Amino acid sequence: MFAADRMPMTTLHDCAAPGASTPAILEKTPLERYVPPAKPSLIGLSRAELGAVCARIGVPPAQQRMRVQQLWHWLYVRGADCFDAMTSMSKELRTALGSHYTLARPEIVAEQISADGTRKWLLRLPGEHEGERPHDVECVYIPETDRGTLCISSQVGCTLNCSFCHTGTQRLVRNLTAGEIVGQVMIARDRLGDWPRKPGPPGEAASSRPAAPGVGARVPSEASRLVSNVVMMGMGEPLYNFEAVRDALLIVADNEGLALSKRRVTLSTSGVVPLIGRVGAEIGCMLAVSLHAVTDAVRNELVPLNRKYPIADLMEACRNYPGLTNAKRITFEYVMLKGVNDQLADAKALIKLIKGIPAKINLIPFNPWPGTRYDCSDWDQIERFSEYVFKAGYSSPVRTPRGRDILAACGQLKSTTEKLSARERLALRAMAMTE
């Protein structure tokens, strides 16, 4: 039986585009599922799950709450990568933990550093079937003068197939677990020396990093951290992996652990309308919507999911987003494609479309990738578009392309997990998907 047959989490929705002779696939089905190792990692576990771990290894009920607090501190404040480092717990307890669990993060198999300082990590994750090729995802760190933004992934591949996005050309292998999502934040802080008393990456001067506090010192403030912001804008559509993404982001924003403010955590969606309200109600983070067009006809081509959730439904979900205020605006992402969506008429229609929604417009110069049929809008045209939006009363920053030389810019992420096994090829053919 194919992995796809065992994974009904998402289904294929075929519908013909206007004038098209073959149906367009709106949503891909995962080829595999996550299979936990014999010794699972504690990374990504909630307090309740850590309590169950303590009970499983024989911690007396009267001590479990204290032990959970200690584990949480060592995992998410100190960034411990081995149980021996947890010196506030007895050696016996550390041995028991190490006999059944690990503190493993995803494996870094490659690191690229752009001329502008952007870092891209290729992370290796286990596959479902022993002996088959493991799976890779990408994670990108973007340093700026006033912040350090970490762009993390939620899927191996992507459920969707947005025509301008490199990641969308990749098959969907599986969803990431909460631990694999949180693990990307842990890895970034490991590599950057962003934990108390941990060194930075090779070759980086210690003086270029915030001073590490001593034992017992308070956690560095958000402003002093190298990873100060997290965006779910990497590989995958986060809302097709909602539960794992929610659980991971709640850990990232927990004020007794990784402690990033929810206003510094942003989830980007292509418009999975039924789940947008749950993001605000259950996660409470900032919301970004990949809009990219102002008419259904154009958005159907750029974001085929629009055929299922058209613009009118998407805008209604945005207007009803829980907690929406001028201080907590929705970001509408708009990639600038030459001759497709970049005319002054598009800018005027955009303003009408978002009227009444506290929002800002993030204009993204298109980042080319091998094989794309799109071109980036001329810079003068981008500036005219931005100026019109700004004069209409909306913030309209033009996102500076970062990491283009290492294919780390917006829309360019695509892992090297491209060689398919015979089983995967058969599964793809069975779903009428081709390489």
Positions annotated as catalytic residues are 138, 410
Using CA atoms of 136, 142, 147, 149 in order, give the dihedral in degrees to the nearest 10.
-30
Longest Cα–Cα distance in the chain:
69
> What would the two tokens of residue 110 be?
């490659």
CB atoms closer than 10 angstroms to residue 102: 16
**Which residues sit opposite 230 in a β-bridge?**
150, 265
CB 224 within 8 A of CB 259: no
| DSSP state for residue 328 in the 8-state scheme | B
Closest alpha carbon to 287 in 301, 275, 304, 298 = 275
Rounded CA separation 90/59 (Å): 12
Closest alpha carbon to 435 in 425, 25, 412, 427 = 425
Rounded CA separation 250/230 (Å): 12
Q: Looking up tokens 């080829």, which residue turns up?
A: 31
Using CA atoms of 118, 113, 232, 164 in order, give the dihedral in degrees to the nearest 10.
90
Q: For 331, phi and psi rounded to 5 degrees?
A: -95, 125
> Given the DSSP bridges, would you call strands 174-175 and 330-336 parallel, antiparallel or unpaired?
unpaired
CB 305 within 8 A of CB 270: yes
Rounded CA separation 376/233 (Å): 20
One-letter-per-residue 3-state SS of 180-242: HHHHHHHHHHHHHCCCCCCCCCCCCCHHHCCCCCCCCCCCCCHHHCCCCEEEECCCCCHHHHH
Rounded CA separation 245/424 (Å): 26
> What would the two tokens of residue 183 be?
């693990």
Rounded CA separation 277/281 (Å): 6
